[in-house]
Amino acid sequence: MVMAAMPTAFVTGGGSGIGRALAKALAARGTTVCIADLNVAAAEAVARECGGSASSLALDVRDADAVKTGIEAFVAENGRLDYMFNNAGIGIAGEVDDIALPGWQRIVDVNLYGVLHGVLAAYPIMLKQGFGHIVNTASLAGLGPAPLFTPYALTKHAVVGLSTSLRIEAASRGVRVSVVCPAAVETPLLDSGNPGDLGIGWAPDARRFLTALAGPPYPVETCADDILAALSRNTSVIVLPGRARLAWRLGRLFPALVEKIGLSAVAKERSTRV
């Protein structure tokens, strides 16, 4: 097969939020993009926005076989895989004692195993071709405590560990690995609430609470542009925006200060509970 001249990217969770913004930014730079999402109508809409050779795919990242089949089909059609963006994710929030085991299982299946399935499908392809960049979406909540978002923090810490460890293994074999750790970003996830079938009950207002902890949400288009700029520099841990990098560094130096700020924010958010 003749290798495609254009770079290629496979984006999970590409139907909205960061995934959509990344897909559009990549397409604008001449990349052939596959937008994969559980919501196929949303994926199709983003593919139309991207234009050109963009394609869409209905994909549940919890299904390892489906992820592998989808990525391999994309590579068979285009001849290469330059970028694998493991971006699909959900949020679950609330008090730990209010969240039953199915809630923890749901978020681990999507946010952790969904990323792992993408890595295990894309990494062998990139090793064989001798190049490629795996990009896993975590969160600032993967670099420090995120009270009232403990299930989310659990998965994002795991994604950071997976990414930074694999990066070292993969470097001498021609494959790059980066992990994206943004503070709150202006996406539908901020206002989506918990999945209704889990019966969790009270949860913090994500927009209000995260703004109190880390400042106002970051514009998603700017986020995507900054991510791609960081990837061009092969940045390992991409913390966005600048104020989030400052908060991360201060937190490493003064963990007691982070805990004090968290205690105050949690107390204030709990005061709104009816």
Active site members = 152
On whether the CB atoms of residues 201 and 145 are closer than 8 A, the answer is no
DSSP letters along 100-154, please?
-HHHHHHHIIIIIIHHHHHHHHHHHHHHHHT--EEEEE--GGGSS--TT-HHHHH
Sign of CA dihedral 23, 24, 29, 32: positive
And the tokens for 219? 């514009």
Of 28, 90, 88, 76, the closest CA to residue 54 belongs to: 28
DSSP letters along 241-274, please?
SHHHHHHHHHHHH-HHHHHHHHHHHHHHHHTT--
Query: What is the C-alpha to C-alpha distance for residues 185 and 216, in angstroms, rounded to an integer?
Result: 8
The torsion defined by the Cα of 159, 230, 23 and 5, in degrees rounded to 10, comes to: -110
Give 215: exposed, middle or buried? Use CB within 10 Å, 0-12, 13-18, 19+: middle
**Alpha-carbon Rg for the chain in angstroms:** 18
Helix (H) or strand (E) holding 46: helix 40-50
